[in-house]
Amino acid sequence: MTKDYYIQPDAPDPVLSESIVMELVHRHLSEAISVTGVDENGGEARTYSIDQNWILKTQRPQQLRPKTSLKKEVFFLDCLKTISGVRVPKVLGYGKEGKNIEYTLMTRMPGVAIEYAELNGVPRQKVLMGLGQMLRKIHELPQSLFLESRLFPGDHSPVDVRWRFGNLFDDVIELIGKSSQPWSFPIDPIKISRLAMSALPDVDMWVVLHSNPGPEHVFVFPETHQLSGIIDFGDAYFSHPVHDLRRFRSPEDRKAVFAGYIAEAPVSENFIQTWRVAQAVTDMIAIVRNPDYSEAAKEDLDQILKEFQERDNFK
């Protein structure tokens, strides 16, 4: 796996004037009235709120990279629009203007991101189980559609998936080495990574993933504590499904997502073992970067390592 890079890091990145934004919007939505806000979050895209119900999303030129694609996101969203129980933005228009403007017009996802919602206890578990159920439906889409589009990078063999996990563990070890927080788990992170990689099976599936269905991209209705939907499919890629299931730092949150994922149909032992490896790498990140979840992550990692050892002894 190669590291990410930006194609044109020095390209100008102006905020579009309201007149230009509305000209693009009116090509697809004549009843729109005005720009009501601009989201400057520093990511690969900039979003313009249109009235109360729509979003114009533009690719930021200096943040253009091979991994991210508005065209890819539009394709994915179109594939999902008729899937019962999967709630994503509806694409109203896509296009390019000149050399530097690529845009998508879509509906706004109602509610707020889980990251900003006061959502705890049973309501949080129910939402995350609903997310797991939604991800299962996304992963079960016919994969030929995505392969034939030639828009999606990623993994297409057990070796590819193993390579991705190896890079993840390398990145985490580097993160731990640079952290100002001392490593507080009794086993050395390099030894943990070797144990986990030894436990990783030759996977028997790979599908198109959202990439990061985590707290910033999963929306809820704050009044009712119901799951609203998922946004931001621009980083989608092929790999093992567990990479979509590991995006919450809290072990309790991850277990709720996984419980929803298997609620209507079980997964194989190969899948479960791959899931353990994915949890191990996420626990390591939480231990060093997320103080609120550090102790829970240590307990979870300890249990996973015991399961690895029991499996080796059984073999």
Do 144 and 41 sit in the same domain of this protein? no
Determine, yes or no, domain membership for 4.
no
Claim to verify: residue 101 and residue 88 sit in the same structural domain: yes
Distance CA 199, CA 46 (A): 41
DSSP state string for 149-189: HT---B--SHHHHHHHHHHHHHHHHHHHHH-SSPP-SSS-H
Give the number of domains in the chain: 2
Contacts of 303 (CB under 8 A, 6+ apart): none
* Last residue of one domain, picked from the residues 40, 75, 107: 107
Report the alpha-carbon distance of residue 89 to residue 70 in Å, rounded: 13
Question: Are 207 and 85 members of one domain?
Answer: no
Q: Where are the alpha helices (DSSP H) in the chain?
A: 18-26, 70-80, 121-139, 144-149, 158-178, 189-199, 242-245, 251-261, 269-289, 294-314
Per-residue pLDDT of the chain (315 residues; tens, 9 = 90+): 456 766 766 667 789 999 999 999 999 999 999 999 998 775 778 999 999 999 999 988 666 666 788 999 999 999 999 999 999 999 999 999 887 889 999 999 999 999 999 999 999 999 999 999 999 999 999 999 999 999 999 999 999 999 999 999 999 999 999 999 899 999 999 999 999 999 999 999 999 999 999 999 999 999 999 999 999 999 999 999 999 999 999 999 999 999 999 999 999 999 999 999 999 999 999 999 999 999 999 999 999 999 998 877 644
Residues 179 and 251 in one domain: yes
- Same domain for 135 and 190, yes or no, is yes
Instruction: Indicate whether 78 and 120 sit together in one domain.
Output: no
7 domain residue, yes or no = no
CB-side neighbour CA atoms (13 Å) of 118 = 1
CATH of the domain at 131: 3.90.1200.10
Residue 76 maps to which CATH number? 3.30.200.20
Domain boundary among 51, 84, 107: 107
Co-location of 93 and 137 in the same domain: no
Residues 191 and 282 in one domain: yes
The pLDDT score that the predictor gives to residue 61 is: 67
- 153 shares a domain with 31: no
Per-residue DSSP letter, 291: G
Residue 296 falls inside a structural domain:
yes
153 and 248 in a single domain? The answer is yes
* Structural domain boundaries, residue 190: 112-314
**Quick check: is 1 in a domain?**
no
Among 78, 107, 136, the domain-final residue is 107
Cβ neighbours, 10 Å, residue 100: 17
